[in-house]
Amino acid sequence: MVASTRQSVCMGAPAKLNFHLSIGPRRSDGYHDLISIFQMIDLCDTVQITRTPGSRFSVSVVMENFESIEENTMEKAARLFADVTGIADALSIRCKKRIPMQAGLGGGSSDAAAVLLLLSKLYGYPLQRSELIAIGAKVGSDVPFFLGDSTAACVEGRGEVLTALEARTDLYGVLIMPEGVGVSTREAFGELDRARLQNKVPLRTIGKGQLVSMYAQPVAEWRYFNDFRAVMGPLSPLYDTLDTIVSELPDAFGTVSGSGAAYCIVSAEHRISELFRTKVERIGANVTIFDIKSLHRADSGVTVSL
Ligand code: C5P
């Protein structure tokens, strides 16, 4: 009978990079207004949802290759979706993690967005896009970006105001993830506030028009910066070394992503990112290195099996 049919849907949940991130003062609600250039990349988790029709909503989450995490963004997203839509099935979510956690790569947010997109597909798109984004924003500030149609965007507000960019297809890169180190986003914002109170980090920004037009220019001309870079503590010497390597390469741009701990470089030439990888391997730092590429939404389709 159709009513008892289990359905399964699956999709890639891509990581993001922040090429630019300037952060304003702490708001009265505890968040910070920011302006950032976000880029999805081809490093993806895989999220699968199986729906077993029932009379009561339930959700279980299994992380295939990671210990369960305390506050699971996927479970939160599914519960909020159920609250709004009234769905009453048993959902089983499986996630294969590839995106490092506490890396500034948006993995938890992307997984949550994938859950919302997959549930929308499973239930015949019951919500408007704006309702889905409102749910996403409740799960995390980066989730709305991952629900958007564009793989690159200028992001404002606390993360929910998106201006789509014509995504570049020519950015090759390398991601450096320090081993055994993760950065809590909340703590990084706190550090930045404290440093600002002591006048150690100025409030500065680049106009939105300039940020957007810079994105289309050669990466060697990018003047993007990340406010968190000033409060990276023990990770700073590693980032200084990586910055120096980048400065010696033609046509390359390097930055910490988000609040860290991942550092990325991108170049329009594959050869340059390979050269960077070789030089990083030579310094013998305790890091994991990933090859990456800028992503187009068309690369990460939803697959459905009934
Ligand atoms: O929204 P999300 O749960 O990802 O944010 C984690 C923490 O980072 C928040 O609790 C808040 O302390 C901080 N944050 C912020 N301003 C933002 C985004 C996040 O202060 N725009």
Q: How far is the CA of 6 from the centre of ligand 1 (A)?
A: 37
Catalytic positions, written as ranges: 16, 142
pLDDT tier at 296, thresholds 50, 70, 90: confident
- Asked if 35 and 205 count as a contact pair (C-beta separation under 8 A), the reply is yes
pLDDT tier at 249, thresholds 50, 70, 90: very high
Name the residue with tokens 């990581």.
Answer: 15
Q: How far is the CA of 290 from the centre of ligand 1 (A)?
A: 26
Q: Is 282 helix (H, G, I), strand (E, B) or coil?
A: helix
Taking the CA of residue 30 as reference, the ligand 1 atom at the shortest distance is 20
pLDDT score at 305: 46
pLDDT tier at 2, thresholds 50, 70, 90: very low
The closest of 177, 188, 141 to 261, measured between CA atoms, is 177
- Of all protein residues, the one whose alpha carbon is nearest to atom 7 of ligand 1 is 186
- Asked if 75 and 94 count as a contact pair (C-beta separation under 8 A), the reply is no
pLDDT tier at 301, thresholds 50, 70, 90: low
- Asked if 244 and 218 count as a contact pair (C-beta separation under 8 A), the reply is no
Best substitution site from 16, 111, 141 to test ligand 1's pocket, by max atoms within 8 Å of Cβ? 141
Measured CA to CA, the distance from residue 135 to residue 82 in angstroms comes to 11
Any alpha helices (H) in the chain, and if so which ranges? 73-85, 107-122, 129-139, 143-147, 185-197, 208-215, 236-247, 270-283
Q: Which residues line ligand 1 (CB under 6 A)?
A: 30-32, 34, 140-142, 158-159, 185-186, 189
Taking the CA of residue 190 as reference, the ligand 1 atom at the shortest distance is 12
Cis peptide before 261 (omega within 30 of 0): yes
- Give pLDDT tens digits for 50-61: 999 988 999 999
pLDDT tier at 1, thresholds 50, 70, 90: very low
* Pairing state between β 302-305 and 7-26: antiparallel
Measured from the Cβ of residue 112, the count of other Cβ atoms closer than 10 Å reads 30
Q: Above 50 in pLDDT, residue 306?
A: no
Name the amino acid, one letter, at 237: P
- Asked if 38 and 165 count as a contact pair (C-beta separation under 8 A), the reply is no
Q: Above 80 in pLDDT, residue 303?
A: no
- In terms of Cβ atoms closer than 10 Å to its own Cβ (0-12, 13-18, 19+), residue 121 is middle
Q: How far is the CA of 141 from the centre of ligand 1 (A)?
A: 6
Mean pLDDT of 210-222: 97
Q: Could you tell me what percentage of the chain is helix, strand and coil, using 3-state DSSP and rounding each to the nearest 5?
A: 35, 30, 35
Q: How far is the CA of 137 from the centre of ligand 1 (A)?
A: 11
The closest of 16, 22, 37 to 211, measured between CA atoms, is 37
Q: Above 80 in pLDDT, residue 304?
A: no
**Per-residue burial over 25-37, b = 16 or more CB atoms within 10 Å of its CB, e = otherwise:** eeeeeeebebbbb
- Asked if 165 and 150 count as a contact pair (C-beta separation under 8 A), the reply is yes
Measured CA to CA, the distance from residue 51 to residue 88 in angstroms comes to 10
More confident residue, 182 or 77: 77
Best substitution site from 142, 160, 186, 196 to test ligand 1's pocket, by max atoms within 8 Å of Cβ? 186
- Asked if 293 and 170 count as a contact pair (C-beta separation under 8 A), the reply is no
Name the residue with tokens 């013998």.
Answer: 284
Q: How far is the CA of 101 from the centre of ligand 1 (A)?
A: 16
Share of the chain above pLDDT 90, in %: 85
pLDDT score at 66: 75
The closest of 169, 160, 156, 45 to 108, measured between CA atoms, is 45
Mean pLDDT of 139-157: 95
Taking the CA of residue 34 as reference, the ligand 1 atom at the shortest distance is 21
